[in-house]
Each structure stands twice: as C-alpha cells, then as structure tokens.
Amino acid sequence: MSKARAYTNIALIKYWGKRDVAEMLPYNSSLSLTLDQFYTETSVDFVDQKEDQFFFGSEAQPVSPKVKRVLDRVRSLSGRDQAAVVKTVNHVPTSAGLASSASAFAALAVAASAAADLQLSQRELSILARHGSGSASRSIFGGFVVWHAGVDDQSSFAEPITETVDFPIAVLAILVDQGRKKVLSGAGMQASVETSPFFSAWAQTAEQAIPKMEKAIANQDIAEIGALAETNAMQMHATTLSADPPFTYFAPETLKIWEIVREIRTKGLNCYLTLDAGPNPKLICQLQDIETITNYLQNRIPDLTYTLCRPGSGAQLVAK
C-alpha cells in the first residue's frame, strides 16, 4: 500500500479546451500556483482480486473512467496485472469552494505508481496525472508551475517555475455557492471549443500570456501577476459567454465580489480576481494587504466565507 498527498492549485493562466480528448492534450499552456489549504490523500494497493475498488472516505463508489485510465496506465507501465484498491480523502476547509480534481489525480498518480513499484520522474508523474485531469499535471509540483501544452503525450507536462513558498502572495478563496456546478468543467470547455467563435483567439492569447506571467513572477510583481491573471480569467469566461448557446459560471455574487475587488483597487491596494469553472472567486493579493482587504470585504459582505491560502508544496508520498 502506498499513500500520497497532493495539494490543489489555482490557474493564473487557465487550461480551457482539449486539443486531443483521448490523450488529454490542451490547446494552450497554462500556469498555476499550488496552494497550501486543500489537499487530497489517496492510498493505492494492488491486490489479487477481480475488479478495481474505489472508496471516497469510507464510501465505496464506482471506479470512474478517469481513475481507471490512470490505473491502466500504471499497470501498463509496470507490467502488473492486479486490481487496485483506491482510498481517497479530501481535506478541504468547508469554506474553500476549491476544485478537487487537480489534487485528487496528482495524489492518485503518485500513490498508484509507488504501489506498483514504478520509479517515475516528476515529469513522468505529471504526464500520468494529466491523464486523470489536465490540471492535476500541475499539482505534482509546488509553488508556481507551468504546464507546457506540448504536441503529444510525452511533450505535454508541467514543471515548476519556482518552488519558492515564501513568495509574498496570498490567495483568498471566497465561497459564494456550495452547490454543485451546473455545467461541469469538462462539458463547459468542450462547448466553448466547439461553439465559441472566439475560441482560437482565446488559445492563442493564453499562450502569449505565459511568458508575460513568467516575467511578472520573476519580478515578484504581484500587481502584474494579478492583472494578467484577472484578464486571462475573464477571457476564459468570455469563451462561455460567446458559446452557442451562451452560458456562464458567474453567479450574481461573483459579480458583486468583482465590483468590490475593483473598489479595493481604487484604494491603491493590489487585489485581483480569478475564477475557474464555478462561481467561487479567488482573490490574488499581497500578503501584507490581507488584513486590510479582508476587513474591507467583510464590511461590504457581513457573512463573507473565505479561506486564506498561501503557496503550497508539491505532491509527495506519505506512506509506502
């Protein structure tokens, strides 16, 4: 039995759209920050039984096609022919509103490959995790991470820009809606790819934003990091609004938070909003401004629910 832990990440330049659905290749490179406040722990054991088993907490669940795909690749790479018992637990602050597939599949990749006695490099783990969920390729690493779109299976992997965890950045994950997403991210990106006339311009613009973001990170320029991230996030959401039929992940409360974020900027503070395929915004701030910003937000929204996140570390094996 091997057990691994991986943290979630927030994309500053988004992954949105699969160029190759079978191989899980994206249209554009993406760039993220691994966070320290939400992780998945997953154990894998290869045993002599007929079928794979999956437990979410103590609850047995069907083995999803994505989990099966990762397990099959591990069996194929290792020559093993056994079934896997997978047990996974999400450690998520109730207030986070953060996605779990990135941490889940990064943890699965690390645990399953170790359980099969594979000696994979970090890059090979990133490629393996990608087959479960694109964004999981980035959660293999800590800090700022870039996922190169690549052109085939072996060239589409993530790597760290910096493992630095004392970067003076903070992410406020705000919960506006705990309900299940109405349009799942996979279906949403597929609808954008197939029906938005803006999609090809999106992919090209996102790719061009990668070196700009890398430069802003190298300069520790949090205002520029935030501005680039907000612009990129809204461009991603513009591909849903321009789809046919149009749809949006914004909730009314998301727009309200964005209005307040812009107010905060008029006070001379760096505060920028990013958003994935759901209504819960994440604010990108300087660590030193966090108290001022949370006070301002709570003053405007008395029942504000949020989690303060900082840069987190990469996926790791915690038991073997």
Residue 1 or 255 with smaller CB distance to a copy of itself: 255
Residue 49 or 178 with smaller CB distance to a copy of itself: 178
Contact 176, 97 (CB under 8 A): yes
Work out whether 227 is an interface residue with a copy of itself (CB under 8 A): yes
Among 255, 287, 290, 304, which residue interacts with a copy of itself (rule: CB under 8 A)? 255
Residue 34 or 239 with smaller CB distance to a copy of itself: 239
CB of 18 to a copy of itself, least distance (A): 20
CB of 265 to a copy of itself, least distance (A): 10
Residue 38 or 202 with smaller CB distance to a copy of itself: 202
Beta pairing, strands 53-56 & 83-91: parallel
CA 123/CA 31 separation, integer angstroms: 16
Work out whether 269 is an interface residue with a copy of itself (CB under 8 A): no
Give the residue carrying structure tokens 């249209």: 27
CB of 94 to a copy of itself, least distance (A): 24
Number of alpha carbons in the 13 Å side-chain half-sphere of residue 293 = 30
CB of 197 to a copy of itself, least distance (A): 4
Number of alpha carbons in the 13 Å side-chain half-sphere of residue 309 = 31
> Which among 85-93, 140-148, 238-246, 287-295 is the span making contact with a copy of itself, rule CB under 8 A?
238-246
Among 250, 306, 311, 315, which residue interacts with a copy of itself (rule: CB under 8 A)? 250
Among 60, 246, 295, 319, which residue interacts with a copy of itself (rule: CB under 8 A)? 246
CB of 84 to a copy of itself, least distance (A): 41
Work out whether 183 is an interface residue with a copy of itself (CB under 8 A): no
Among 158, 189, 251, 264, which residue interacts with a copy of itself (rule: CB under 8 A)? 251
Work out whether 237 is an interface residue with a copy of itself (CB under 8 A): yes
- What is the separation of C-alpha 162 from the centre of its chain, rounded to a whole number of angstroms? 17
CA 155/CA 157 separation, integer angstroms: 6
Work out whether 253 is an interface residue with a copy of itself (CB under 8 A): yes
> Which among 25-33, 95-103, 105-113, 239-247 is the span making contact with a copy of itself, rule CB under 8 A?
239-247
Two structure tokens written together for 229: 């991230």
Q: Return the residues of window 188-217 that contact a copy of itself according to CB under 8 A.
A: 196-198, 200-202, 204-205
**CB neighbours (10 Å) of residue 251?**
18
Q: Which residues bind a copy of itself (CB under 8 A)?
A: 196-198, 200-202, 204-205, 227, 230-231, 234-235, 237-239, 241-242, 244-246, 248, 250-256, 258-259
